[in-house]
Amino acid sequence: MKKYRVKEVFTPTTPARIAFIDRESINDKLVNALEMPGKQLIVYGHSGSGKTTLLANKLDQLYENHITTHCMKGMKFDQIVLDAFDQLDTYYPSELGTARKNTVSAELTATYFLIKSKLQASETTELTKKEQRILPPQLTPQALGKLLGAAKCCWILEDFHKIDDSEKTQLSQLMKVFMDLSDKYEDLKIVALGAVDTARQVVEYDNEMRNRVAEIHVELMTEPEIESIVKKGEAALNVAFEGELKTLIAKYSNGLASVCHHLCMYMCQAAGVEETATEQIVLDINHFESALRLYVEEASDSIRSAFEKALKQRRKTQYHHTNIILEALCSFNERGASRVELLQKIRRKIPKYPEISLKNTLEKLKTDDYGSMLRFNQTAGLFSFSDLIFRVFAMAHFRNNGVNQKNKGNSASSDVAQLIQLLEAEIKKSFPEGARLFIAKGV
Ligand SMILES: Nc1ncnc2c1ncn2[C@@H]1O[C@H](COP(=O)(O)OP(=O)(O)O)[C@@H](O)[C@H]1O
Ligand SMILES: [Mg+2]
């Protein structure tokens, strides 16, 4: 039996490989788009839905080469182009003289070195910092396309939604140039990834490009998908999750595979499993409980900081919108509530609460700036907390603040032990399978 380390199998913060599962619902669409010459891709969906992992695994299976640019807020389009150019380093010979041996044409290699020398020259003369480098006029969209195309490279733009709208227009232009070049370079392709609700929020492209852009929505995982991750892990590590634990983990993960990887990793840790066991080891509810405790402890700082972001009052306004809305959302079950339901709930307390404030604030609460507190399920039309822990934390927060205003800054919700209790209570209430397990154990 092949031996794996637990952290190679359960990967809460990096793309899964060993425990990677194919996503039936999108696999064909993604593979077709990746294989079709000239097709540009926009992959979108909630943060944590598995976009990066999916791409990483599929590119390994299907593509010769790829480069990845990680986009950040405030990044200019020129910098993005320069980042791609810098990464071409590995595909072009380090000396002009060896160019002919390479598959890349001599002319392109010459272009590459010309641009490289221009960049170096401007760096030494102006002593500019890397972030402020100037795009040499020779590094045109066509030139970049040819250089990438000749290297058989696909270009991944991670988190493209973070780029300012004014810069985004240029990407759509670049995509158009790449489409035109695909006659000659069939591997040339841009894949833009964004944690947003629609493809157009990632790249606003022209209607005439419609047929040549594939929009791929990565949904949060279904419970059977998450259970498959646990099963893959079981097989790789020679462990067995007892009884209904797989179902419980899947439910608890609430669509987020990273939660599943975290819990499984901590359960192995609790059972002293570090690598593939020689004889099968059984993981039970006690391990699950330890894992949950560790997960909450570990996450508590980031949960707190997410809440600080969400609840911070940016301006003096009549209402504390985020407070009002998150508190209202707590009164619904974990599946969440529609906007109309939320409005009704809020207006019972504040009859004149403006609908537009609700609409705007809900949008904000989905963004990084507000701790990515909420998610919106398009199919069901429901807003919910993006992580079950957020929901439990919010319930504790509002309960405590409601009862005891004096303790506001130091609410007992910061108390991990209490949070765990609430989590367990929540599990018992929401997930009958979990309840049975806890009851069996006598918790
Ligand atoms: N298909 C998959 N199979 C197994 N684990 C996955 C899969 N997709 C994502 N994951 C896990 O989920 C977590 C988040 O995935 P990621 O690709 O970073 O999401 P996104 O890029 O959409 O934010 C990671 O821990 C990753 O290992
Ligand atoms: Mg990602």
Digit-coded pLDDT (tens) for 233-292: 999 999 999 988 998 899 888 888 999 999 999 999 999 999 999 999 999 989 998 898
Ligand 1 atom with minimal separation from the 23 CA: 1
Q: Give the domains, in start order, of the chain with CATH numbers.
A: 24-217 (3.40.50.300), 223-299 (1.10.8), 301-441 (no CATH)
Q: What confidence tens digit (pLDDT) does each residue in 337-392 have?
A: 999 999 999 999 999 999 999 999 999 999 889 999 999 988 889 999 988 888 88
Give the ligand with the smallest distance to the CA of 53: 1
CA of 313 to the centre of ligand 1 (A): 32
CA of 17 to the centre of ligand 1 (A): 10
Q: What is the pTM of this model?
A: 0.82
Helix (H) / strand (E) element for 64: namely none
CA of 13 to the centre of ligand 1 (A): 8
Q: State the average pLDDT over residues 309-334.
A: 92
Q: What is the pLDDT of residue 394?
A: 86
CB 424 within 8 A of CB 438: yes
In this structure, which residue's CA is closest to atom 1 in ligand 1?
Answer: 21
Question: What is the radius of gyration, based on Cα positions, of the chain?
Answer: 25
CA of 70 to the centre of ligand 2 (A): 9
Ligand 1 atom with minimal separation from the 13 CA: 25
Does 443 score more than 60 pLDDT? no
What percent of the chain stands above pLDDT 70? 86
CA of 53 to the centre of ligand 2 (A): 7
Of the candidate ranges 102-106, 126-130, 355-359, 377-381, the one whose mean pLDDT is the lowest: 126-130
CA of 71 to the centre of ligand 2 (A): 11
Ligand 1 atom with minimal separation from the 261 CA: 25
Q: What confidence tens digit (pLDDT) does each residue in 60-85 have?
A: 999 888 999 999 999 999 999 999 99
CB 233 near ligand 1, within 6 Å: no
CB 50 near ligand 1, within 6 Å: yes
What sign for the dihedral angle of Cα 372, 378, 384, 390?
A: negative
Distance between CA atoms of residues 64 and 149, nearest Å = 11
Q: What is the pLDDT of residue 96?
A: 53
DSSP string, 233-289: HHHHHTEEE-TTHHHHHHHHHTT-HHHHHHHHHHHHHHTT--B--SS-EEE-HHHHH
Average pLDDT, the chain: 86
Q: State the average pLDDT over residues 24-37.
A: 94
CA of 235 to the centre of ligand 1 (A): 19
Confidence of residue 131 (pLDDT cuts 50, 70, 90): low
CB 20 near ligand 1, within 6 Å: yes
Confidence of residue 198 (pLDDT cuts 50, 70, 90): confident
In this structure, which residue's CA is closest to atom 15 in ligand 1?
Answer: 50
Q: What is the pLDDT of residue 244?
A: 87
Q: Which residue has the tokens 């003289």?
A: 97
CB 48 near ligand 1, within 6 Å: yes
Does 13 score more than 70 pLDDT? yes
Ligand 1 atom with minimal separation from the 256 CA: 12
38: left (phi over 0), alpha (psi -120 to 50) or beta: left
CB 368 within 8 A of CB 310: no
Q: What is the pLDDT of residue 115?
A: 92
The dihedral over CA atoms of 161, 162, 168, 173, expressed in degrees to the nearest 10, equals -60
Confidence of residue 416 (pLDDT cuts 50, 70, 90): low
Distance between CA atoms of residues 136 and 142, nearest Å = 13
In this structure, which residue's CA is closest to atom 9 in ligand 1?
Answer: 50
CB 194 near ligand 1, within 6 Å: no
Q: What confidence tens digit (pLDDT) does each residue in 203-233 have?
A: 888 888 888 999 999 988 999 999 999 999 9
Q: Enumerate residues 6+ apart whose C-beta is below 8 A from 294.
A: 266, 269, 270
CA of 45 to the centre of ligand 1 (A): 12
CA of 54 to the centre of ligand 2 (A): 9
Give the ligand with the smallest distance to the CA of 162: 2
Q: What is the pLDDT of residue 79?
A: 93
Ligand 1: which of 53, 261, 264, 266 to mutate, judged by most atoms within 8 Å of the beta carbon? 53
CA of 282: how far to CAs of 1, 243, 351, in Å? Answer: 18, 10, 55
CB 261 near ligand 1, within 6 Å: yes
3 state SS of 136: coil
